[in-house]
Amino acid sequence: MVHIISKRDGPRREDVAAKGFIRENRATIDRLANHLTGGRWQEIRNPVSTPQPEPSGKLWFTPPSRPSEPAPYVRISLNGRVVVADEASGRQLLFIGAIRGSGSTRHFAMATKENGFFDPIEEEAGLALGELDGVLIPTSEIEDQLKQEISARLGLATPGEEAG
């Protein structure tokens, strides 16, 4: 262990002089700092206290405007996935299948193990949609008709009409 022994205690003469200079010219220094920072210096030194919300004890955030019941509809995405999604959140509720092929050979493949899908469609929905497996879809009009047919068979409201 090393002890430094100095002839004098306390601050150095230069430090005392610098602190005195700053203290005497504080108003000028603040004015220049405010000018150079566009008023930000004063905001930092004298923050305006805004009332902070009291913690409610909740650990999880839930969006306040989320509807409690989903509004399902049939959606065919750009990559050909056919799903039932929630209209409000856009989240997938049920995977139905995919549109495979290209051009005039496009067809609907229902999500079954026979069609190579890892997670098959629920049995109840599979029975309702069984006849649509393999239907040719050469045009976008037929694709729209497929969406309407799936919606009708699953008992979903098509966009623009209410479920009854």
72 forms beta bridges with: 86
Within the chain, what is the greatest distance between any pair of CA atoms? 101
Q: Is residue 130 in some structural domain?
A: yes
Q: Answer whether 121's CB lies under 8 Å from 96's CB.
A: yes
Give the pLDDT confidence of 6-27 residue by residue, as tens digits: 666 778 888 889 999 999 999 9
Q: pTM (2 decimals)? A: 0.54
Give the pLDDT confidence of 46-70 residue by residue, as tens digits: 877 667 667 666 666 666 665 567 7
Same-domain status, 76 and 150? yes
What domain range includes position 24?
13-45
Same-domain status, 84 and 133? yes
